[in-house]
Amino acid sequence: MLRNYKMTVSYDGTRYNGWQKQKNTETTIQGKLEQILFRLTGKEIPVQGAGRTDAGVHALGQVANFRLDTNLFEDELLSYFNEYLPDDIAVLSLKTASERFHSRLSAVGKIYCYRMYTGNAKPVFDRRYMWKPDEIPDAERMRSAASFLVGRHDFKSFCGNRHMNKSTVRKLDRITIEEAGGGRELRLTFEGEGFLQNMVRILTGTLFECGIGEREPEEMTGILEALERSRAGQMAPAKGLTLMEVRY
C-alpha cells in the first residue's frame, strides 16, 4: 500500500549545494535522500522538503515527505536511511502521515537560528556552524532594529530572488537576539509563517550593520517601504544559519 511518510532530517550543510536537487544528486540533500529511496526500490521517488535551504545552510529539524509502498516497518526504514546516508545527514524520525500531509504546504511556521561568534578567540568546535564577523555588533542596537521588522510586511527588500513573481508579503512573528556561550556568541532566532529566498541571511546582515553602527535602527521602516533589494544590507554567510524546526 502506498503510504505518505513524514520525516525529520538533520544535516551539516557544509559540503552541500543546498536542499534542492540538481543534476548532480551527490551535492544536494534532496538528491542524497532520493538516492536512498532509489537504492531501496529501484524507482525515482520524489522527496519534498519544507524549506529549500541554501548551499552551506544547516538543518536540525528539516521536514520532508514522500510516498512509498514498502513492507518495511517505520523504524526499519529509518535505519535503512541512516545506514546508507553519509555521516553529515541523519534522519531523526520517520512516521506515516495522513494522505494529505505535504511538508511545505501544510507547514504553519518555521524557526531559523543564526549563530555569530563574538569572542576574542575562535569557535574551534562550532567553526562550521557560526559566522565570525570582523567587528562585534551591539546586541541592543540590533534588538532595536529588529523591532521594526517584526509583523506582517512586504519583505521584497529582503528577498534574494530578483525574479520573484509571487507575493513577498510574510508575517514575521519574532526575532530574538540572545547572548550565549559564556558571552562568546550572539544567537538570532527568527520565527515566522514562511521565509523568502535568502531572507533570514539578508535580515541578519542588515541587523548586523545596525549593530556595528553602519546603519540606524530607524532605517528599517524605509528599507521595508522601498521594496528594493539594494536598500537592505549584505547577506550574512550561509554557515551561521540553521533551520531549527518546522511547525504544523
Q: Which is nearer to a second copy, 87 or 99 (CB)?
A: 87
Residue 202 in 3-state DSSP? helix
Choosing from 37, 47, 57, 78, the residue that interacts with a second copy (CB under 8 A) is 78
CA distances 214 to 28, 70, 142, 196, 206, Å, are: 36, 57, 11, 25, 9
Q: Which residue has the cell 546586541?
A: 139
- Per DSSP, the three-state class of 18 is coil
Residues paired with 189 in a beta bridge: 113, 176
Q: How far is the CB of 93 from a second copy (least distance, A)?
A: 8
Partners of 95 in beta bridges? 6
Q: Does 171 bind a second copy (CB under 8 A)?
A: no
Q: Which of 82, 106, 161, 189 binds a second copy (CB under 8 A)?
A: 82
Would you say 117 or 208 has its CB closer to a second copy? 117
Among 5, 6, 12, 36, binds a second copy (CB under 8 A): 12
Instruction: Give the number of other CB atoms < 10 A from CB of residue 165.
Output: 6
Give the whole-angstrom CA distance, residue 137 versus residue 85: 38
Q: Is 112 annotated as a binding residue?
A: yes
* Cβ 123 vs Cβ 117: under 8 Å: yes
User: What is the closest distance, in whole angstroms, from the C-beta atom of residue 92 to a second copy in the complex?
Assistant: 5
Task: Choose which of 16, 80, 129, 155 interacts with a second copy (CB under 8 A).
Answer: 129
The binding site for substrate comprises: 112
Q: Which residues bind a second copy (CB under 8 A)?
A: 10-12, 58, 60, 75, 78-79, 82, 85, 87-92, 120-125, 127, 129
